[in-house]
Structure 1
Amino acid sequence: MNYFKKFFFVLILILPASLSAQKNVSFLFDNSGSMLGYYSDSKSTFKTFAKALIKNSLAQGDFASIYLFTKNEPKRGIQSPQKLFSGNSKDLIPDKIISDFKSVKGNDGDYGVTDINEALDAAISDLKNQPAVIWLITDNINDVAGTGDESFLNTLDFYKKLRNDTAIRKILLFPVEEKLSGDLYESDGFVCYGIVYSLTSLSQIQLESYDKIIRASGIKAKPFTLKPLDIGTITLFPKVTQSKVTEGKLFFDGKTLRGFGFDEGQVIKETFPDLVLKSNLFPYIIKNAKLNVRLDNFSSSDYSVKSMGTQTISPSTVSNISPEGEVTGFSVTFNMPEITPNFSFSTIFNEDFTVGGNLILEVSQVDILLDDKYMNSFKEIFALNSVPDIFRPVLKDKKIETSIPLEIRIKYGSWRLFALIGIALLALAVIAVPIFLLTKKSCYKITLLDSDSQSFCISALSSYSVSTAGSPVLGKLKKSVTGSLKFICSSVTDTPGKVFSVSF
């Protein structure tokens, strides 16, 4: 255990309970000749590192694939990559996997050389177009043709693939320094790439989720952010509102800018004086950058926008931010755009409506400087004479955005009450008029032959049976809604069921 303390990369064995979503995880371990010391030297902690990485990176139900790789050379009797495991993580036994960790020799007695691109392509092919987290552990000596200048060129090809392959969405690189020396090897360390592979584009929220998954591996070394550098690498957030939430005041709950109880037409203006800018661009120094704030997707079928208002941030520039540094003291003034609710029957029956959209906090014209002093200490690990271009990106032409959703509820004005009263009166009229016409009674007086006169009152819902003294019912008189009378002959007459109009 004392030996472990000599190395800053010692892994803390942590339970991966937080990684609840089922995922594909692939592990590629370089076992070429240049990695001989890590497989054969009893003082090396490489196998302990590998075991901890596997355990910490997998959650129950994940699909895991574990490979050893050199270069596929059938003539030398070397097959690469060598798949040690493929299946559900619950069936994986890390100790058994580690027991198979051995350097590979060809039938000529020499150790295997390395083709990192070949191994990465093979692992991606096995994914069958499914997204995955890929861990690639290598000393970066891509010696396809043995040692020498061509090895450096092959390593540069690997970096070009990392940078240019659009399906490789995110890369964090953990440099691990472990010096070993033996008769056949001289090693300074290795690197551990945490790669997110996805054929479909990923949102900022998804990339942040993958970032947490990779960092939860337990590697204590600070990772380099290689890709993407323009999504989530510089964040700008208000502090979470700690005071009591009240009506008519905006607050930030950690995810969304919210507010409720505002009146229609009320001027909504709020200043957030406690924003924090955080850089995740390790190991880059932000020399200077410009800050801006604006609204996006500020539209709805519930309302129309007359003007977008003016959003401001102060100060609007920042400079000299150290890697993974934080800067406080920024304030944002939010001015609600001028909006007008759209009239519809659905809005009338709601007490309020919701204003949505996004508050975009934008960092642009970013001028970054690589911490060369830090990088130079790992130059040999990168197996290059100079720091590759992938570590020297240009961000001046890119915008790094932090998007904060808006959810502001505004009460409808007094017009809604008058509209409701009008609708209620109209509804009463629509109901009352037919009822009145149907129930209104009209009175009549009729005389049949020499019989006495008969007086009666009927409505459209009733009728009057007509008969003479001692005779059966001759028929019925009925009144229509319009007031006309009709006589319907009964079955005892010569014309049963016949209808006659009655004039009066």
Structure 2
Amino acid sequence: MTRRLPRTARLAASAALLCAGAPALAGSHVFLVQNSGWMEPFYTDPVSPFKPLVAEIVMAATRPGEPMVLAAFNQGVPGAPSPRALLSLKVDPVPTRRQVVGALAALEVARKPGSTALADTDLNEAVGSAIGTALGGKPGLVWLFTNNRNSPNNDQATALRNRDFYQLIHRGGAISKALAFPLQMPVQGAQYRANGLMVYVFAVGAQGARELDALLASGRLQQVITEPAARLKPLDRDTVRLVPRKVSDGPGVAFSMAPNGVLHADVDAEARTPSARIEWNLENTMYPYTIVSATLGARSVLGGENHPIELAGTQVSKLAPGKSAPLASKMQLPVGQLPGKWSMQAVTSAGSAYVVPGRIELQLSGQRLELSHAFRQRMATLFPGDPLPDIFTPPAQIDGSTAVLRIEVRVHYGVGPLVALIGAALALLGAAAAAVLAMARPRKAFVTVEDELRTMHARAGTTQPIYDKAGNKVAQLKTTLFGHQLIDLREGAQVQLGR
């Protein structure tokens, strides 16, 4: 038997090879391609689609400018560390495709140093090195292409080895999200045959999970892998989805689901109904798990108000993945917090909608999950005799989950108040304009001074002096919008308005 390196020495050796020539930034993607003895038929079958599939997934998963590492792995031994970097670069679609295809074309099944024996496999070693070394502890995605056999030193106790892999995925804090794609790929080699291939993707860190979600939302990966993704982690959130089916006892309220997954509640401005009865479809989105049983609870957080949602039934049972069950509820709406139609919010929202963001939270407690029968059968067909499907067993500590549905209450205000306010504003402007014109126009005033009738011209807002025949100032004429007025009248002066 070949002597096995201590784990620390193996990780150090694999780190040196995995990071050789790595880009300045930590790789956003690390692609680990198994080339141990168990993979022999994938490499030697003349019609094997294995290498073309890997190349297409690499190109679909990456975007221009993203750093990536392509590495082969088996099991690190003295003289042959694992993983081994094949490429380390920043993606430029045309040359990168050429480089990836070339590197895979040259990759062969590995043998132990100084022996004809085929190399063994250590999935934990490969994934651990990718997370800790190639990514350097930074966020990113680790991809694993494997025949699902984890047997270091040709150890036949694969169940024990698989439990180690289970611990790495489910209990390791670095991996925030994990998906698996079991693919049918019948291949025949000189020594072995296989029916299927497993493609894993592990998101490292919260940012890695967001990158994986964005990739799945883009649809690029689904153009290469048409099988649904089997979820490994997380199993405690977003396990179900609420889809509105019918609204009753809520006049002036209509619900619809936007393409981005946000629930829109369109409310008429006159609606003041405090609640609405909503019938939902509760859909299990946690492929490949059946929700054997769970207790439901729900609440809404809207417009600063937190209200429980009354559910007609609180139990769900035997809900298969992708299937849905009816769920009736009574939901409070924040109508008391909505602006009136004469409010500034309503006026500024005229012709569109005033939006109150919020969320609906659905809690599943006492949750029991199990792999669906159809998925077990598929795994048994693709990987006969392999106990690795145990990796899909939910951790014992996960007995609940939460699903959050974003909601926007949209109040639609008519343009009537806005038109009325615009009319009032125009009237005020007209009155102001008339006042300005009135002030600017000279006005005629008749003033009698010592029996002498005089005609004076004055603009509103002005004051003019009045003199007697001797040239002495005897009064002042003040002119306003409303007429004329004598002020500062000298005692004994013979001055009056008019004739």
TM-score range, shorter chain: 0.5 to 0.7
Q: Which one of 133, 136, 140 corresponds to residue 144 of structure 2?
A: 136
- Structure 2 matches for 1:81-100, cutoff 5 A? 81-84=84-87, 86=89, 87-91=91-95, 92-93=97-98, 95-100=101-106
Supply the distance in 2 between the matched residues of 1:311 and 1:326 (Cα, whole angstroms): 23
**SS of structure 2 residue aligned to 1:357:** strand
Unaligned runs of 5+ in 1: 1-22, 242-246, 300-304, 487-500
Unaligned runs of 5+ in 2: 1-26, 492-499
Q: Aligned pair 1:291/2:296, yes or no?
A: yes
Give the structure 2 partner of residue 28 of structure 1.
32
- Structure 2 matches for 1:108-187, cutoff 5 A? 108-109=114-115, 111-124=118-131, 125-127=133-135, 131-144=139-152, 146-148=153-155, 153=160, 155-176=162-183, 185=192
Q: Which amino acid aligns with 1:407?
A: V
Conservation of the 8 A alpha-carbon contact between 2:28 and 2:68:
yes
Q: Aligned pair 1:267/2:273, yes or no?
A: yes
**SS of structure 1 residue aligned to 2:168:** helix
TM-score, normalised to structure 2's length?
0.67
> Structure 1 residues 295 and 38, CA, compared in 2 at 3 Å: closer, same or farther?
same
**SS of structure 2 residue aligned to 1:258:** strand
- Structure 2 matches for 1:47-66, cutoff 5 A? 47-58=51-62, 64-66=68-70
Give the deviation of 1:237 after TM superposition: 0.8
Give the deviation of 1:339 after TM superposition: 0.7
Conservation of the 8 A alpha-carbon contact between 2:263 and 2:408:
yes
- Structure 2 matches for 1:405-424, cutoff 5 A? 405-409=407-411, 411=413
Give the deviation of 1:403 after TM superposition: 0.3
Q: Which stretch of structure 1 is more off in the superposition, 175-184 or 31-40? A: 175-184
Q: Which one of 67, 73, 77 corresponds to residue 71 of structure 2?
A: 67
Q: Aligned pair 1:280/2:285, yes or no?
A: yes
Q: Which amino acid aligns with 2:202?
A: I
Give the structure 1 partner of residue 369 of structure 2.
368
Return the structure number with greater helix share.
Answer: 2
Q: Which one of 324, 328, 342 corresponds to residue 327 of structure 1?
A: 324
- Structure 2 matches for 1:351-500, cutoff 5 A? 354=354, 356-360=356-360, 362-365=362-365, 366-371=367-372, 375=376, 378=379, 381=383, 388=390, 391-394=393-396, 397-409=399-411, 411=413, 456=456, 458=458, 461-464=461-464, 479=478
Supply the distance in 2 between the matched residues of 1:417 and 1:221 (Cα, whole angstroms): 56
Give the structure 2 partner of residue 498 of structure 1.
none
TM-score, normalised to structure 1's length?
0.67
Give the deviation of 1:172 after TM superposition: 1.6
Give the structure 2 partner of residue 229 of structure 1.
235
Q: Which amino acid aligns with 2:256?
A: F
Conservation of the 8 A alpha-carbon contact between 1:71 and 1:118:
yes
Supply the distance in 1 between the matched residues of 2:235 and 2:118 (Cα, whole angstroms): 38
Supply the distance in 2 between the matched residues of 1:129 and 1:431 (Cα, whole angstroms): 71
Supply the distance in 2 between the matched residues of 1:363 and 1:458 (Cα, whole angstroms): 80
Conservation of the 8 A alpha-carbon contact between 2:141 and 2:202:
yes
- Sequence identity percentage: 17
**SS of structure 2 residue aligned to 1:339:** helix
Give the structure 2 partner of residue 316 of structure 1.
314
- Structure 2 matches for 1:330-349, cutoff 5 A? 330-341=327-338, 346-347=344-345, 349=347
Conservation of the 8 A alpha-carbon contact between 2:298 and 2:360:
yes
Give the deviation of 1:356 after TM superposition: 1.9
Conservation of the 8 A alpha-carbon contact between 2:268 and 2:413:
yes
**SS of structure 1 residue aligned to 2:400:** strand
Q: Which stretch of structure 1 is more off in the superposition, 224-233 or 404-413? A: 404-413
Supply the distance in 2 between the matched residues of 1:382 and 1:436 (Cα, whole angstroms): 99
